[in-house]
Amino acid sequence: MIPLVLLDLDGTVIGSSGQVLPCVWAAVGRVREAGMRLAVCTGRPRVGVAKRVAQRLGPSTPHIFQNGAMTAYADGEVVQLHALKEASTRALIAHARLHNLVLEIYTSNALYVERRTPLSEAHAALIGATAIVRNLEDVAENEPVVRAQWVVPTEQEQRATSLALTGVQVSSAVAPALKDTLFISVTAQGVSKGSAVRALIDTQKLAPENVMAVGDSVGDLPMLEVVGHPVVMAEAPEGLRQRFFTVAGVDNCGVVEALERALALKVV
């Protein structure tokens, strides 16, 4: 049995309904009873749906939020936190204002936007958070910004990413429940799902070859590349499906297949 499985949320555990299917919870119960540890590894913050899923998956295991910028227990201690430089955040804010784009700013426990739009409100509802309307420059000046995120229609990807910034890491993801929308995450340089997974594996005193990670997008690649058992969903891009073991789609309980595989595999 693989002792630790890391699970992306959107497109992996959470499908087009915006919820975790009953088949997944049934499988979670089986593998946890067998002694397997499960942890979230997501771009979402530790609020709303992500927090509730993390609580149920692993109440005593640290989870990775904010695309690796924050590792924390579902109900308590923050284990690791990496903030963006204030200058980077201010540059993103100026770019959002110039091009009239939705920019989300995340601190360790809150989500801020400068204005509400149908898209920003749809995303806040999806993740179960309340977006606080505030001058984002005030947030940048007074609070550590863990992550920034563009929430844009796919046709606006180039406009959002045309800002040239140094000292940051950029990755993209999608959510089946919000079609034709891109979530472009900005974290501090060197901070990714991969860096957070490496740190978590180390603190849990596990060998990477005895860890599984399950994802569905290019944004999950850093996580997939640092574990011994990378798994992707059927909806993953072809390049990922060619490289990694592939299971059924998210709405067809593909993650159950991954968990059953983890249960059957032997530790090296």
- DSSP string over 199-254: HHHHHTT--GGGEEEEE-SGGGHHHHTTSSEEEE-TTS-HHHHHHSEE---GGGTH
Say if residues 3 and 209 touch (Cβ distance below 8 Å). Answer: no
Say if residues 159 and 145 touch (Cβ distance below 8 Å). Answer: no
Instruction: List, in sequence order, every beta strand (DSSP E) within 107-195.
Output: 111-113, 131-133, 147-153, 168-175, 178-188
Nearest to 250 by CA among 7, 84, 1, 2: 7
Supply the pLDDT for residue 72. 95
Say if residues 28 and 253 touch (Cβ distance below 8 Å). Answer: no
Same fold, 4-81+191-264 and 86-188: no
Distance, CA of 24 to CA of 254 (rounded, Å): 9
What are the structural domain ranges in the chain? 4-81+191-264, 86-188
| CATH for the 4-81+191-264 domain, from 3.40.50.2300, 3.40.50.1370, 3.40.1350.10, 3.40.50.1000 | 3.40.50.1000
| CATH for the 86-188 domain, from 3.40.50.360, 1.10.150.20, 3.30.1240.10, 3.40.50.970 | 3.30.1240.10
Supply the pLDDT for residue 249. 96
Phi, psi of 72 (to 5 degrees): -160, 160
CB-based contacts of 56, cutoff 8 Å, min separation 6: 25, 28
Supply the pLDDT for residue 109. 85
* Spans of the chain, pLDDT less than 50: none
Supply the pLDDT for residue 177. 86
pTM for the model: 0.89
